[in-house]
């Protein structure tokens, strides 16, 4: 159990009688460890004490004292520590001094002759207020730390996304991610393989923040390594899954759709690790989701198989890989964007090129959600086989 | 445009309203303060319920229907972030102490010294602003944590 330190209260008065009186009247609070008292004879001594004992929480001060009076002390205390709370002791009915004390930032006052019950209630009230204030300040500090952490995660995520895409006379690739305010776990990658083939990966890490960003980094590195070693997307996922599983103490997982496009034949081979099905959009604007291949998310279980499947792209066909940031984008009524609306995006306006197709999708999602805050990353990676040049 | 700070004055003396409006006219015109008025505690609570954007209540003690000391206890239930200042007779230590113990952040005395009135109001507003900034930080953190970890929020 954490033992809470007693609140330290500095009592400032030139009357020597006050010290034994307070110690006697407050003995229960002292014995129970709620309060501890320090004493000073005037403002100068009080400031010295505040500088020596930096853990003093509050000051209870008389007004009339030699060397430095209580009202001057009130002005000095915030310079030592603005979070120290002060109570002033005034003569009964001395309105002028009480008003001055309050306007100089005293939290409250008590009057002489001291009513110890009132003093204790006032001290308790002051300390309660101080505690609330400190909690709020601590939240503020934590918020700053959290924001720093999110910035790290966000820049890590951004740093791994390719910004330049392969293109040729036959095809064009384009990818984009709209990050959620608090950093989701999406990424995509474009990997140049032997024989002019292109590896296209899109993924969504289960968690968010710095741990997810690190998991994302290792997923991406492992995938890149595996991709270069094999021509079969399912085999690449199988290898990544084994490696992620071995080192995955955090029980995070990642869904991945990995495909290899061969520009020479127009054939796309893909394998799915628990990710959303790719969407094929024909040049007439009609579209369909490609059949899932049956694999589950990577990183949670060993010895899994990831079957691959193929689709032959006709000229003018477009493949969209995307994350659930699109399908689950929510509007103000709590409706999801859904696959149906994805089909609608191209029904009337067939894709012109990869970049335009991706942007049309982002536009449609943006229009659908309106002002509703984005809660997840939205990511889209597109490859399009050009129309045959006539 | 709405004023920066909204202050509810509670007093059964009708003279106070024009006096405050006249004394504070510069601040009102500058859009810093908006003053609302209520003639007793019951009416004050009605105004507070209608206008959740009131920051500060300055209340007299002796009023019909509901006095200022009772109002102090009710304000906390409406919104614990509202800051209350009590207006007492000069030297009425008993009521002032009761008001402070019931959570008033400060007091002013009658007849109102407008210099003290303004100083007290400004100090209260500064403290309130600091408090709200800290609260905002806390709320932002709570919401960002539940967003970045939906399982914990569910």
pLDDT digits (tens, 9 = 90+) for B58-76: 999 999 999 999 999 999 9
Task: Dump pLDDT digits (tens) for A180-199.
Answer: 876 678 999 999 999 999 99
Residue A257's H or E segment, with its range, is strand A254-262
User: What's chain B's average pLDDT?
Assistant: 88
B75/chain A closest Cα distance in angstroms: 17
- Mean pLDDT of the region B115-140: 87
The answer to whether the CB atoms of A118 and B97 lie below 8 A apart is yes
Token pair in block for residue B52 = 């959740």
* pLDDT given at position B150: 42
Q: Cis link prior to B103 (omega < 30° from 0)?
A: no
Q: Is residue A389 pLDDT above 70, yes or no?
A: no
- Mean pLDDT of the region A214-235: 91
Task: Quote the DSSP letter at residue A68.
Answer: S
pTM of whole model > 0.90? Answer: no
- Mean pLDDT of the region B52-57: 94
Q: Pick from A109, A136, A182: which is nearest to B147 by CB?
A: A182
The answer to whether the CB atoms of B141 and A143 lie below 8 A apart is yes
Q: Is residue A243 pLDDT above 70, yes or no?
A: yes
Q: Which of B81, B148, B150 to mutate to test the interface with A (most CBs of A within 10 A)?
A: B148
Instruction: Pick the range with the lowest mean pLDDT from A106-110, A144-148, A305-309, B38-42.
Output: A144-148
Q: Is residue B138 pLDDT above 90, yes or no?
A: no
Token pair in block for residue A193 = 């393989």
Q: Pick from B119, B135, B145: which is nearest to A136 by CB?
A: B135
Q: Pick from A136, A146, A209: which is nearest to B131 by CB?
A: A136
Task: Dump pLDDT digits (tens) for B63-118.
Answer: 999 999 999 999 999 998 999 999 999 989 999 999 999 999 999 999 999 999 99
Instruction: Pick the range with the lowest mean pLDDT from A18-22, A244-248, B102-106.
Output: A244-248
- Mean pLDDT of the region A42-56: 95
- Mean pLDDT of the region A132-146: 82
Q: How many CB pairs under 8 A join A and B?
A: 66
* CA B76 – CA B84 distance, rounded (Å): 9
Give the pLDDT band (50/70/90) at residue A47: very high
* pLDDT given at position A115: 93
The answer to whether the CB atoms of A111 and B93 lie below 8 A apart is yes
Nearest CA to A205 out of A170, A227, A177, A235 is that of A177
Task: Dump pLDDT digits (tens) for A290-309.
Answer: 998 888 999 989 999 999 99
Token pair in block for residue A207 = 């968690």
A 10 A CB-CB count for A45 gives: 18
Token pair in block for residue A82 = 């603005």
**Which position has the token pair 């007004």?**
A63
Handedness of CA B129, B130, B134, B135 (dihedral sign): negative
The answer to whether the CB atoms of B101 and A142 lie below 8 A apart is no
* pLDDT given at position A297: 93
Q: Is residue B132 pLDDT above 60, yes or no?
A: yes
Handedness of CA A107, A113, A119, A122 (dihedral sign): negative
Higher pLDDT, B151 or A353: A353
Give the pLDDT band (50/70/90) at residue A4: confident
Residue A187's H or E segment, with its range, is strand A186-192
Backbone angles phi and psi of B121, in degrees to 5: -65, -45
Token pair in block for residue B80 = 């614990």
* pLDDT given at position B154: 29
Nearest CA in chain B to A207: B149
Q: Is residue A390 pLDDT above 70, yes or no?
A: no
The answer to whether the CB atoms of A208 and B133 lie below 8 A apart is no
Share of chain A above pLDDT 90, in %: 75
Backbone angles phi and psi of B87, in degrees to 5: -105, 120
Q: Is residue B149 pLDDT above 50, yes or no?
A: no
The answer to whether the CB atoms of A139 and B138 lie below 8 A apart is yes
Token pair in block for residue A107 = 């939290």
Given a contact cutoff of 8 angstroms between Cβ atoms, the answer to whether A19 and A38 are in contact is no
* CA B56 – CA B6 distance, rounded (Å): 7
Q: Is residue B151 pLDDT above 50, yes or no?
A: no
Nearest CA to A217 out of A238, A247, A193, A192 is that of A247
Share of chain A above pLDDT 70, in %: 98
* pLDDT given at position B136: 79
User: What's chain A's average pLDDT?
Assistant: 92
């Amino acid at each position: 159990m954490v033992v809470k330190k007693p609140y330290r209260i500095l009592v400032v008065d030139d009357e020597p009688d006050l010290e034994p009186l307070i110690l006697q009247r407050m003995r229960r609070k002292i014995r129970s460890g709620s309060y501890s008292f320090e004493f000073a004879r005037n403002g100068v001594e009080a400031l010295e004490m505040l500088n020596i004992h930096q853990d003093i929480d509050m000051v209870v001060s008389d007004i009339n004292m030699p060397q430095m009076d209580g009202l001057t002390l009130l002005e000095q205390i915030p310079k030592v520590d603005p979070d120290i709370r002060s109570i002033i002791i005034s003569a009964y009915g001395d309105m002028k001094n009480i008003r001055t004390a309050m306007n100089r930032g005293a939290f409250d006052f008590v009057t002489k002759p001291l009513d110890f019950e009132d003093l204790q209630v006032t001290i308790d009230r002051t300390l309660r207020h101080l505690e609330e204030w400190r909690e709020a300040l601590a939240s503020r500090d934590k918020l700053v730390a959290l924001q720093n952490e999110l910035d790290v995660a966000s820049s890590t995520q951004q740093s791994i996304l390719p910004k330049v895409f392969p293109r040729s006379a036959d095809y064009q690739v384009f990818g984009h991610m709209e990050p959620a305010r608090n950093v989701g776990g999406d990424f995509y990658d474009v990997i140049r393989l032997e024989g002019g083939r292109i590896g296209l990966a899109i993924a969504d890490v289960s968690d968010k923040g710095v741990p997810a960003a690190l998991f994302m980094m290792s997923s991406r590195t492992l995938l890149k390594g595996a991709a270069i070693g094999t021509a079969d997307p399912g085999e690449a996922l199988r290898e990544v899954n084994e490696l992620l599983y071995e080192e995955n103490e955090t029980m995070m997982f990642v869904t991945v759709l990995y495909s290899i496009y061969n520009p020479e034949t127009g054939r796309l081979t893909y394998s799915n690790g628990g990710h959303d099905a790719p969407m094929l959009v024909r040049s007439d604007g009609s579209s369909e989701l490609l059949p899932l291949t049956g694999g589950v998310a990577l990183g949670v279980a060993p010895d899994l198989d990831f079957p691959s499947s193929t689709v032959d792209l006709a000229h003018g066909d477009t493949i969209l890989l995307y994350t659930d940031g699109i399908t689950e984008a929510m509007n103000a009524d709590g409706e999801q964007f859904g696959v149906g609306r994805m089909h609608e995006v191209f029904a009337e306006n067939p894709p012109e090129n990869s970049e335009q197709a991706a942007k049309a999708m982002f536009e449609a999602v943006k229009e659908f959600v309106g002002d509703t805050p984005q809660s997840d990353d939205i990511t889209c990676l597109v490859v399009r086989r050009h129309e045959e040049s006539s | 445009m709405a004023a920066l700070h909204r202050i509810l004055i509670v007093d059964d003396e009708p003279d106070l309203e024009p006096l405050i409006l006249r004394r504070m006219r510069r601040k009102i015109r500058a859009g810093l303060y908006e003053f609302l008025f209520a003639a007793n505690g019951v009416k004050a609570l009605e105004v507070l319920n209608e206008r959740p954007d009131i920051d500060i209540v300055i209340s007299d003690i002796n009023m019909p229907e509901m006095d200022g000391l009772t109002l102090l206890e009710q304000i906390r239930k409406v919104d614990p972030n509202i800051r209350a200042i009590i207006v007492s007779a000069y030297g009425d230590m008993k009521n002032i102490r009761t008001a402070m113990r019931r959570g008033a952040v400060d007091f002013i005395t009658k007849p109102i010294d407008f210099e003290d009135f303004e100083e007290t109001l400004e100090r209260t507003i500064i403290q309130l602003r600091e408090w709200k900034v800290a609260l905002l930080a806390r709320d932002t953190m709570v919401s960002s944590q539940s967003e970045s970890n939906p399982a914990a929020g569910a």
